[in-house]
């Protein structure tokens, strides 16, 4: 083939290769962006689940009656779980974006999302007057919360791996998230006060939560 025909063909081939490389780079960038968005929401929700579990474990023995404790627990969820209010929507949106990249992982995330919604909405006030029934139902809530925390940790590692090696190593070997400290005896004493006044207890919890969060930041 004459040289005058070869060089135009080489130019076309190089142009196609550069376009393919550019498109591939854009796809990788979008993939990393989707993974990063989901990862940040997972870490945020995991912190709130840990706070919920540590607080309920510390506070439950302080209440003499199940109805009073359940009112506190429901109030705790309403005021501090999946906050800010946009977090639930943002998390679901991040899962939907992620599903186009990793559909199998996204299906597991969807199951975790449904479990999180169940934890947020479950209310045992109607059963709290029957000690035996309440204990059995409350045990399912505890197991659900424990399962959510374990599942989210798995999702975080998988999502970090998809984002990149450096991110995965940070998640695997460093303290990648700062979580509120578990309540100690002094914290509990300050938090409870007169347990009969539930609104006062919730206000004290809110103030304690904010102060500890700032000190950990």
Question: At a CB cut-off of 8 Å and minimum separation 6, what does 23 contact?
Answer: none
Q: What is the pLDDT of residue 186?
A: 56
DSSP string, the chain: --HHHHHHHHHHHHHHHHHHHHHHHHHHHHHHHHHHHHHHHHHHHHHHHHHHHHHHHHHGGG-SSHHHHHHHHHHHHHHHSS-STHHHHHHHHHHHHHHTT-HHHHHHHHHHHHHHHHHHH---GGGTTSHHHHHHHHHHHHHHHHHHHHHHHHHHHHHHHHH-HHHHHHHHHS--S--PPPP-HHHHHHHHSSTT-HHHHHHHHHHHHHHHHHHH-
Per-residue pLDDT tens digits for 115-148? 999 999 999 999 999 999 999 999 999 999 999 9
- What pLDDT score was predicted for residue 169? 87
Kindly report, residue by residue over 51-98, the tens digit of the pLDDT. 999 999 999 998 989 999 999 999 999 999 999 999 999 999 999 999
Structure tokens at 159: 């999502």
Q: What is the pLDDT of residue 143?
A: 96
- Cβ-in-10-Å burial (0-12, 13-18, 19+) of 204 comes to middle
Q: Quick one: tokens of 45?
A: 């929700």
Closest CA to 80 of 210, 194, 183, 197: 210
pTM of the entire predicted model: 0.71
* Cα gap 85→47, rounded to integer Å: 16
5-9, 99-103, 105-109, 165-169: range with highest mean pLDDT? 105-109
Q: What is the pLDDT of residue 97?
A: 93
């Amino acid at each position: 083939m004459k040289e005058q025909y070869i060089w135009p063909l080489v130019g076309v081939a190089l142009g196609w290769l550069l376009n393919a490389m550019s498109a591939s780079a854009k796809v990788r960038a979008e993939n990393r962006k989707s993974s990063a968005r989901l990862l940040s929401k997972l870490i945020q929700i995991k912190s709130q689940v840990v706070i919920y579990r540590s607080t309920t474990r510390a506070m439950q023995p302080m209440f003499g009656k199940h109805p009073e404790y359940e009112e506190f627990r429901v109030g705790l969820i309403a005021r501090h779980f999946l906050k800010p209010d946009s977090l639930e929507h943002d998390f679901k949106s991040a899962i939907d974006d992620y599903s186009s990249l990793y559909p199998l992982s996204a299906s597991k995330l969807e199951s975790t999302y449904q479990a999180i919604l169940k934890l947020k909405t479950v209310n045992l006030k109607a059963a709290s007057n029957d000690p035996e029934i309440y204990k059995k139902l409350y045990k399912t809530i505890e197991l659900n919360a424990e399962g959510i925390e374990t599942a989210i940790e798995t999702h975080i590692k998988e999502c970090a791996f998809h984002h990149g090696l450096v991110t995965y190593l940070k998640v695997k070997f460093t303290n990648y998230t700062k979580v509120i400290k578990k309540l100690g005896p002094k914290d509990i004493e300050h938090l409870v006060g007169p347990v009969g006044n539930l609104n006062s207890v919730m206000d004290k919890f809110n103030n304690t939560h904010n102060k500890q969060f700032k000190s950990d930041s």
